[in-house]
Amino acid sequence: MHVQLKRIEDQIIVITGASSGIGLATARMAARRGARVVLVARGEGALERALAKVREDGGAGVTVAADVGNPDDMVRVADRARDEFGRFDTWVNGAAAAIYGRLDEISLEDKRKLFDTNFWGVVHGARAALPEFRRRGGALINIGSMLSDVSIPLQGIYSASKHAVKAYTATLRMELEQEGAPVSVTLVKPGAIDTPYYEHARNYMERAPTPPPPVYAPEAVARAILTCAARPVREIVVGGAARAVIAGAGIAPHLSERIMERTMFEAQKSGRPPRRAGDNLHGPADPTARERGRYPGPVLERSLYTSAALHPTRTALAAAGIGLAVAAGVRAMRTR
């Protein structure tokens, strides 16, 4: 079945994990484009600050304090969206938690709680959204990671959860396509992004975590999400470096693992002492509602690879135009 999605300016978009990082960047960008947004997170204070930013941008929306690990909460989110706006058109499963540490050091309680958010949060969100989408059509967008395709030391349980999200997303897509449901199912796989993710992570290491470069802005992911909300896309990697790592792991998995072993134990550790409190694993973190983290190095605002992957025709035309301009310049130089 051909899935027809609405323009962003005509949409109601539900976003979990909307109080910071990629979720907040997506909410603000969608609102600036005319969409109305339903912001979902656990912390009421951060949600209110996030909604204030949406309104500063001229947007409209509502907040729902809810835990994605609770299936009843996700049903309540869907009901609130219908009560407020009559429907919803896109549902973004963006809530996530992270843990840094060796697998044998992390408590079983922490591992299970991470899966409650990262994996079961996607399952509960999808189950709440699908009855609406089966009736009216829509886009279900799950936020995975480059770690949906590769694994990385010190983020083993996070990698496992994102592998699970990828498998669930792919199976759900096939089952919906087989039944002819008018639903687009997308997996978005960001690389290293400058968000409060690293500050909010539970940390078992002796130093504070930091993203390995290159690092991209959360708005790069938000643009990809909104493209997938308006046009069916199966999956997309955000960041050329992330795509290269995934490709390398597929071509030479043993070599890829050896490189990870030699580089990633130190590349994920900053020079700062660890922060042992204030993470978001078992409850909401700080209520500041920030899109950006505090990464001290350069942050890439856009991913040329992702833009090319999402808009291949436009990219090909641009490349052709550049080629014609270069050829014209060469001819002009030869005639002097």
**In the chain, helix, strand, coil percent, each to 5?**
50, 15, 35
Largest CA distance in the chain: 75
The distance from CA 247 to its chain's CA centroid, rounded to whole angstroms, is 20
Which of 245, 278, 236, 289 lies closest to 263 in space, CA to CA?
A: 245
**Which pair of structure tokens corresponds to residue 294?**
């505090």
Q: Which residues pair with 91 in a beta bridge?
A: 14, 140
**Which pair of structure tokens corresponds to residue 92?**
């973004």
Rg from Cα positions in the chain: 20
Q: Which residues lie below 8 Å from residue 35, measured CB to CB, with a gap of 6+?
A: 8, 9, 10, 11, 12, 13, 59
Which of 14, 28, 177 lies closest to 87 in space, CA to CA?
A: 14
Instruction: Check residue 235 and report its DSSP letter.
Output: E
The C-alpha angle 109, 114, 116, rounded to 5 degrees, equals: 95
**Exposed, middle or buried by CB within 10 Å (0-12, 13-18, 19+), for 270?**
middle
Q: Which residues lie below 8 Å from residue 310, measured CB to CB, with a gap of 6+?
A: 224, 227, 228, 233, 236
**Which pair of structure tokens corresponds to residue 149?**
């395709």
- In the block, tokens 């690879």 appear at 305
Q: What are phi and psi of 245, to 5 degrees?
A: -65, -45
Catalytic residues: 158
Question: E strands, 183-305, where?
Answer: 183-190, 202-203, 215-216, 235-238, 299-300
